[in-house]
Amino acid sequence: MVSSIIELRNVAGTEAAMGWAGSHTLVVDRPEGKAGGLGLGFNGAQLLALAIGGCFCNDLRYVAHDMGIEIDAIAVRVTLELDGSPLITTRADLDVTCTSRDRIDTSALIDRARRVCTVANSVMRGFPVSFRTADQSPRQ
């Protein structure tokens, strides 16, 4: 089993949070004027879309490497639909363009990457999420 751990802390003087994994960082915030947000970083829906699309881009590279295909360009647009109260994501749509250096048809590459995409598969299948404070046991 593989684990991935990130951490978040508030950014002093703001109501935003800084997240990191190893030496990589990003800022999480609400849009300016929303619940104290200053628009300093990504909101949760944007982070989810980035996770889905970013993972897919990485998987395109992994699969291309396995298939011996040299990718020329990747363009992925992720559209999340949100609805309800509490607001939840009801669907995610990816528009994908991937070209190879030797101009071969990349549809098999795209399909194989779709089948192995860790984040997309995790979201589609669902998984438990637990919350705990320092003095509590996990809660789902």
- Position 139 scores a pLDDT of 63
Band of pLDDT at residue 135, cut at 50, 70 and 90: confident
Instruction: Inform me whether the pLDDT recorded for 93 exceeds 80.
Output: yes
Answer yes or no: are the C-beta atoms of 78 and 49 closer than 8 Å. yes
Confidence of residue 118 (pLDDT cuts 50, 70, 90): very high
63 and 103 both lie in a single domain? yes
Q: Could you write out the three-class secondary structure of 6-42? A: CEEEECCCCCCEEEEECCEEEEECCCCCCCCCCCCCE
In the predicted structure, residue 119 carries a pLDDT above the cut 70: yes
Domain of 74 in residue numbering reads as 43-140
pTM: predicted TM-score of the whole model, two decimal places: 0.91
Which pLDDT value is given to residue 112? 98
The CATH number linked to 56 is 3.30.300.20
**Are 27 and 96 in the same domain?**
no
Residues 62 and 124 occupy one common structural domain: yes
The reply to whether 55 and 115 lie within a common domain is yes
The three-state secondary structure class of 135 is coil
Q: Chain-wide mean pLDDT for the chain?
A: 95
Same domain, 1 and 67: no
Residue 18 contacts residue 9 (beta carbons within 8 Å): yes
Same domain, 47 and 10: no
Same-domain status, 38 and 67: no
Handedness of CA 15, 130, 78, 84 (dihedral sign): negative
* Domains: count for the chain: 2
2 and 61 together in one domain? no
39: left (phi over 0), alpha (psi -120 to 50) or beta: left
Please check whether residues 66 and 134 belong to one and the same domain.
yes
Does residue 50 share a domain with residue 14? no
23 and 59 co-located in one domain: no
Same domain, 54 and 22: no
pLDDT for 137: 62
Given a cut of 70, is residue 129 above it in pLDDT? yes
